[in-house]
Amino acid sequence: MTDMLESMVGEFGEEAATTKRVLERVPSDKLSWKPHQKSMSLGQLALHVASIPGNLTKLTQMEEFDVSQANFNPPEPKDLGEIHAALDDSIQSATEYLSGMDQKRAAANWSLKAGSRELFCRPRIAVIRSIMLNHWIQHRGQLGVYLRLTGAKVPSSYGPSGDEG
């Protein structure tokens, strides 16, 4: 494994630990809560956050993905156990995938399509950074806002939160 991939695996591990702390604060009695009718519920968002690395692992093992085949309606989890199990599975599959990737595979192009139209074509490692990490972190931040709005304590991510000094 190259330094770039080792660095990515290390960063992924740090972000996984932070995500786990955030998901541990999700209140079980508020999974159906929504800040707005157009928003995902707290449970849907938590399950999405838990699943992003594993889902991206599956997608980036292919050479391309057609978004017209995707279902963008996140399911409602039954309970917190489903969310935590999804996170554990997601972290395990992404860690194995990243740890087993070689430089050639990381540098190979990966395409996102909408039917026959190519939306973008980038090196696989750039897609992993952009979606597996950046997208994951963005939704985790969104989840922090949901936690605050439901009265749950928000854990520290990169520094103290309003609830943890």
89 lies in a domain? Answer: yes
> If DSSP codes are grouped into helix, strand and coil, which group holds residue 31?
coil
156 lies in a domain? Answer: no
The pLDDT, as a whole number, for residue 6 is 87
21 lies in a domain? Answer: yes
Predicted confidence (pLDDT) per residue in 16-32, tens digit: 999 999 999 999 999 99
The pLDDT, as a whole number, for residue 74 is 86
155 lies in a domain? Answer: no
Q: What is the pTM of this model?
A: 0.94
Element (H, E) at 14: helix 3-23
- The yes-or-no verdict on residue 149 having pLDDT over 90 is yes
- The yes-or-no verdict on residue 1 having pLDDT over 60 is no
Q: What is the number of domains present in the chain?
A: 1
| Type of residue at 94 | A
* Beta-bridge mates of residue 65: 112
36 lies in a domain? Answer: yes
Q: Residue by residue, what is the 3-state secondary structure of 103-150? A: HHHHHCEEEEEECCEEEEEEEHHHHHHHHHHHHHHHHHHHHHHHHHHH
* Beta-bridge mates of residue 109: 123
CATH of the domain at 56: 1.20.120.450
Domain that holds residue 38: 3-150
Predicted confidence (pLDDT) per residue in 41-65, tens digit: 999 999 999 999 999 999 999 999 9
